[in-house]
Chains A and B, each alone.
Chain A
Amino acid sequence: MTEAKTASIYSRRSALQLMIAGVAGLAGSNLLGQPALARTSPAKPTGRVIVGLGQEPTVFNPLMVHIEVDDGVHFSVFDALFRIDPQGVIQPNLAVEVPDQKNGGISEDGLKWRIRLRDDVRWHDGTPFSAEDVKFTLELITNPNFRSWRTAGHALVRDITVISPTEISWRMEEPFAPYLSFLTETFIVPKHILEKEANPNNAAFNQAPVGTGPFKWGQRVPGDHLELVANPNYFGEGPHIERLVFKYIPDLTVLYTQFKSGDVDLVGQPYITPDHYGEAKTLPNRVVTLVPRTSFESFYLNLERPQFRELAVREALYAAIDKEAIIQGLYYGVPTPTETFMPRQSFFFNANLPLHQFDVNRAGKILDQAGWAKGADGIRAKSGVRLSFTNSTTSGDPLREQVQQFLQQTFAQLGVEMKISNLPAAVMWGEFWTQSQFDSVIVGSSYLIGADPDVTNRLHSRSIAVKGGRGSNNAQYTNPEVDALLDKGARTFDPEARRAIYSRVQELVRRDLPFLPLYQSNAVEGLKKGINGFVPNGNTRTESWNALAWYWAS
């Protein structure tokens, strides 16, 4: 019964939506339900898929602080209570159903959570999985000596009670709807192994993890690759391939070359670089498509700088950005222009925001009307403030550097001086970024945790780190209405009600322009023809979120 449930996650409706999303070519038979799958996938796991990655996965305890590239391993070796599908709908994974206020899994006040778990799950070493493991996991995350990753949401959990091996409940300190999404990225670790460790930070488990997932730990050659092997006793669908290899290839040109030469079967993060997109599409026996990512690129402003305090300045700068020229001319047409931080594949995406129009003359008029007049040096100024600022981004990113030079020229026509001052990544995203020490930056990042629309961390006035806040609202954006909406959204569980709330947030942010939205990034995903079952999922951070469904055409 439960098995059928997992398989039917991917309904015909979802297949249709994927086709609309333009990725039909990639949609494998696992989208069409169990019968089609049984016809084409091998009876027992066979073959191997090599995923090429530009960064090396090094963190295998999924609860420890890690980066995006480690996710592919976590999704393959472990299971979470829930998973998020490509449409942004949360599906059960180790749980048998997704709790909500209707089915009683979450109480009316949002404080009591009760999760029912599968009874047919075993750890890779044969030990049965139970609610004790879930309790242990949630407690380990908030252990002050443990180098855990995100603690938001988990820190609100109290009174975890194991009701039976297949049922667990807890109380939340306050209602917090995004927690369900957070749990899709919270992989459950085995209590019976980790409880014996005096120091969980240096446990042997961290180098050879034991999970419940479709793949078991194989071996790792540091600096080179790591290999996972099929778990034939997996409770859900798959796996269909016998070995899954993550190969580390640090140079992106070489990553593409190895895809071209056939050494790599599937290109993972950071995918094929835009300059190779045109050529990659013409390669024989390869499938190359654009896959929407959650990452959102913007011209990000520090609103506490006197140059940017006035909305007119921000509107004028936005009008002076020729997005289309940048996307087509510099980015080979890869990204999609956007007006919001919300990815378009999200259920909460607001499609009715005013569209940006490039118009330098209008930009000039806006500044004239607001009283920013050109001085003797050709630069506009108002009340002693010159409209001059620096712009920074990660050095060594040739595409962004070209964007900067392009904008510098347009802004100069407008009487705005933009100086370029780029920093290495390790410097850029340290205090310079977190403590709002910049004037403006070009930055691409996701705003969402899991696929939850809650962006309190990014846009709430309580989240300004330099003012003692605890988040990363580094633009120092403050809007009481946005604050109130974000507070309300975090306490609201009904998706439709939340959609209205976050639509309004997007409207206000589009109006206030704390950052000038440029585009949503698309991954140039490449894989060999013959790999079936590959489904991109813009609601996760990895291309390998469901390697369990991959198989080679026989």
Chain B
Amino acid sequence: MSGFLLNRLSQSIVLLVIVSIIGFTVLNLMPGGPLAQFGLDPGMTQKDVERLATQLGLNRPLWIQYLDWAWRLLQGDWGHSFRDGSSVLAVIGRHLLATLLLMGTSTAFAIAVGAWIGIRGATHRYSLFDYCATVGAMVALSVPTFWFGLIGIYIFTLKLGWVPAGNMYTIGDGSVLDYLHHLILPSLVLSLVHVAIWSRYMRTATLDALSQDFVKTARAKGVSERRILLKHVVGNALLPMITLAGMQLPSILTGALVTETVFTWPGMGRLFLDSLGYSDYPVVMGLLIFSAILVVLGNLIADIIIATVDPRIRLG
């Protein structure tokens, strides 16, 4: 096990270095840069722009900028945002909770509902339910989320007045009930896609388990269908889901770009879009490294869990 971990760790470090070099290069090669937003300011002279570039260290050779950034990162200094001057970790921390709330709720909902739909679709294969679930999943996957979001706001906010038009809470309220009220629409819209994904995976995995020999043996021994499903099928079908969950972990914490924008949700997804729009290099790089670490961690945790619950798999 320790050999496995050591191996994984060294792989991860190489991966992070590669990701950071590519990210840094691509980000800096994009013409314009963080000072372009002042290009139309009538009072900002060319001299002012050059002064700021020097103060921010932007006119040094790219490799020096990278090494400087990487060296500071190794010492735990993630840098400061160009936009508001606060430290990158603080910026990430402020947006993390909002994303965790939204993505956590919608993912938990999606896993529960998706798994149920998937299992039921597999046991009632080619039934009306199965067809509806399949078509529904295709629609949910092919229609862009922002469209669902805007339609949701139109119907449930403007026409029916049931839920608020976005925001995480009412300014000046902020009670638990208020948060929940605001959470309903965006988490449902967001989970549409996730339900679709989970139900499809779960259906395939269940069908796969149903066709295994041990199911046939159980049936031959006269075990009830219900017991077969709960005891033998679901457990086996959930194994690949653990890997899927591990791959989803980063997205739970890095947020949903579009949904957060439509619903005015102050999460990580919007932070990323905004930082990219303003070419806020330190924050964009921070988010990149943060999500790369999450990807590594997510997969690692999934591997360990699978090895723990499935005696057939051994790490090393």
Answer yes or no: are A and B bound together in one complex.
yes
Is there an interface contact between A257 and B32, defined as CB atoms closer than 8 Å?
no
Binary per-residue interface labels of chain A (194-224) against chain B in the complex, 1 for a CB within 8 Å, 0 otherwise: 0000000110001100000000000001111
Q: Which residues of B contact A425 (CB under 8 A)?
A: 32, 36-37, 277
Is there an interface contact between A429 and B266, defined as CB atoms closer than 8 Å?
no
Q: Which residues of B contact A227 (CB under 8 A)?
A: 171
B172 to chain A, nearest CB (A): 7
- Of A105-113, A116-124, A466-474, which stretch is located at the interface? A466-474
- Of B83-91, B219-227, B291-299, which stretch is located at the interface? B83-91
Is there an interface contact between A448 and B84, defined as CB atoms closer than 8 Å?
no
Is there an interface contact between B264 and A251, defined as CB atoms closer than 8 Å?
yes
Q: Is A497 an interface residue (CB 8 A)?
A: no
- Of A8-16, A145-153, A330-338, A358-366, which stretch is located at the interface? A145-153
Q: Is A488 an interface residue (CB 8 A)?
A: no
* CB nearest to B80 among chain A residues: A202
Q: Out of B43, B83, B84, B277, which one reaches A426, CB within 8 Å?
A: B277
Q: Is A254 an interface residue (CB 8 A)?
A: yes
CA distance A243 to B153 in the complex (A): 28
Is there an interface contact between B46 and A470, defined as CB atoms closer than 8 Å?
yes
Is there an interface contact between A150 and B165, defined as CB atoms closer than 8 Å?
no
A163 to chain B, nearest CB (A): 29
* CB nearest to B93 among chain A residues: A222
Is there an interface contact between B43 and A150, defined as CB atoms closer than 8 Å?
yes
Is there an interface contact between B166 and A247, defined as CB atoms closer than 8 Å?
no
Q: Out of A67, A223, A248, A430, which one reaches B94, CB within 8 Å?
A: A223
Q: Is B42 an interface residue (CB 8 A)?
A: yes
Q: With A261-B158, A426-B277, A434-B39 as given contacts, are A471 and B31 in contact (CB-CB < 8 Å)?
A: no
Q: With A445-B40, A457-B42 as given contacts, are A257 and B165 in contact (CB-CB < 8 Å)?
A: yes
Is there an interface contact between B37 and A253, defined as CB atoms closer than 8 Å?
no
CA distance A149 to B45 in the complex (A): 10
Number of interface residues of B (CB under 8 A): 57
Is there an interface contact between B271 and A258, defined as CB atoms closer than 8 Å?
no
Binary per-residue interface labels of chain A (454-485) against chain B in the complex, 1 for a CB within 8 Å, 0 otherwise: 01011000010100011110000000000000
Is there an interface contact between B80 and A260, defined as CB atoms closer than 8 Å?
no
Q: Is B194 an interface residue (CB 8 A)?
A: no
Q: Is A431 an interface residue (CB 8 A)?
A: yes
Q: Out of A225, A253, A427, A446, which one reaches B30, CB within 8 Å?
A: A427
Q: Is A136 an interface residue (CB 8 A)?
A: no
Q: Is A428 an interface residue (CB 8 A)?
A: yes
Q: Out of A65, A263, A458, which one reaches B52, CB within 8 Å?
A: A65
Is there an interface contact between B80 and A433, defined as CB atoms closer than 8 Å?
no
Q: Which residues of A contact B279 (CB under 8 A)?
A: 426
B102 to chain A, nearest CB (A): 13
Q: Is A411 an interface residue (CB 8 A)?
A: no
CA distance A461 to B40 in the complex (A): 18
* CB nearest to A202 among chain B residues: B85
Q: Which residues of A contact B20 (CB under 8 A)?
A: none
Q: Which residues of A contact B273 (CB under 8 A)?
A: 250
Q: Is B95 an interface residue (CB 8 A)?
A: yes
CA distance A443 to B51 in the complex (A): 25
* CB nearest to A60 among chain B residues: B84
Is there an interface contact between A225 and B171, defined as CB atoms closer than 8 Å?
yes
Binary per-residue interface labels of chain A (262-301) against chain B in the complex, 1 for a CB within 8 Å, 0 otherwise: 0100000000000000000000000000000000000000
Q: Which residues of B contact A248 (CB under 8 A)?
A: 264, 266
CA distance A147 to B35 in the complex (A): 12
Q: Out of B43, B84, B150, which one reaches A449, CB within 8 Å?
A: B43
Q: Out of A150, A427, A448, A470, which one reaches B31, CB within 8 Å?
A: A427
Interface of chain B residues 1 through 44 with chain A (CB within 8 A): 30-33, 35-44
Interface of chain B residues 201 through 247 with chain A (CB within 8 A): none
Q: Out of B42, B55, B153, B164, which one reaches A147, CB within 8 Å?
A: B55
B220 to chain A, nearest CB (A): 59
Q: Which residues of B contact A471 (CB under 8 A)?
A: 45-46
Q: Is A323 an interface residue (CB 8 A)?
A: no
Number of interface residues of A (CB under 8 A): 67
What number of residue pairs across chains A and B have CB atoms under 8 A from each other?
A: 179
* CB nearest to A57 among chain B residues: B84
* CB nearest to A259 among chain B residues: B165
Q: With A254-B262, A434-B49 as given contacts, are A429 and B166 in contact (CB-CB < 8 Å)?
A: no
Q: Which residues of A contact B171 (CB under 8 A)?
A: 48, 50, 225, 227, 245, 247
Q: Is A59 an interface residue (CB 8 A)?
A: yes
B196 to chain A, nearest CB (A): 24
Q: Which residues of B contact A245 (CB under 8 A)?
A: 171
Q: Is A414 an interface residue (CB 8 A)?
A: no
* CB nearest to B263 among chain A residues: A254
Is there an interface contact between A206 and B49, defined as CB atoms closer than 8 Å?
no
CA distance A231 to B202 in the complex (A): 59
Is there an interface contact between A251 and B262, defined as CB atoms closer than 8 Å?
yes
Q: Which residues of A contact B94 (CB under 8 A)?
A: 221-223
CA distance A221 to B32 in the complex (A): 29
Is there an interface contact between A433 and B39, defined as CB atoms closer than 8 Å?
yes
Q: Which residues of A contact B278 (CB under 8 A)?
A: 426
A395 to chain B, nearest CB (A): 12
Q: Which residues of B contact A449 (CB under 8 A)?
A: 42-43
Is there an interface contact between B31 and A207, defined as CB atoms closer than 8 Å?
no
CA distance A201 to B279 in the complex (A): 19
* CB nearest to B266 among chain A residues: A223
Q: Which residues of A contact B304 (CB under 8 A)?
A: none
Q: Which residues of A contact B56 (CB under 8 A)?
A: 147
Q: Which residues of B contact A527 (CB under 8 A)?
A: none
Q: Is A375 an interface residue (CB 8 A)?
A: no
Is there an interface contact between A224 and B40, defined as CB atoms closer than 8 Å?
no
* CB nearest to B83 among chain A residues: A58
Q: Which residues of B contact A56 (CB under 8 A)?
A: 274
Interface of chain B residues 60 through 113 with chain A (CB within 8 A): 80-81, 83-86, 91, 94-95, 98
CA distance A207 to B84 in the complex (A): 8
Is there an interface contact between A223 and B43, defined as CB atoms closer than 8 Å?
no
B85 to chain A, nearest CB (A): 5
Q: Is B312 an interface residue (CB 8 A)?
A: no
Q: Which residues of A contact B271 (CB under 8 A)?
A: 223
* CB nearest to B47 among chain A residues: A470
Q: Which residues of B contact A201 (CB under 8 A)?
A: 55, 85
Q: Out of B35, B48, B264, which one reaches A151, CB within 8 Å?
A: B48
Q: Is A230 an interface residue (CB 8 A)?
A: no
Q: Is A515 an interface residue (CB 8 A)?
A: no
CA distance A257 to B156 in the complex (A): 13
Q: Which residues of A contact B165 (CB under 8 A)?
A: 254, 257-258, 261, 263
Interface of chain A residues 225 through 251 with chain B (CB within 8 A): 225, 227, 243, 245, 247-251
Tell me which of A206, A223, A429, A457 has the highest count of chain B C-beta atoms within 10 A of its own C-beta.
A223
14 contacting pairs across A/B (C-beta < 8 A): A58-B83, A65-B52, A67-B37, A147-B55, A201-B55, A223-B270, A224-B98, A247-B171, A248-B264, A251-B264, A258-B264, A263-B166, A457-B45, A472-B46
Residues of A participating in the B interface, judged by any CB pair closer than 8 Å: 48, 50, 56, 58-60, 64-65, 67, 144-145, 147, 149-152, 182, 201-202, 206-207, 221-225, 227, 243, 245, 247-251, 253-254, 257-258, 260-261, 263, 424-434, 443, 445-449, 455, 457-458, 463, 465, 469-472
The 7 closest A-B CB pairs, nearest first, are A429-B39, A430-B32, A223-B266, A430-B36, A224-B266, A58-B84, A150-B43
List 10 extra interface pairs beyond A251-B264, A431-B31, A431-B32, CB under 8 A. Answer: A149-B43, A152-B43, A207-B84, A224-B167, A425-B277, A429-B32, A429-B39, A433-B39, A447-B42, A457-B45
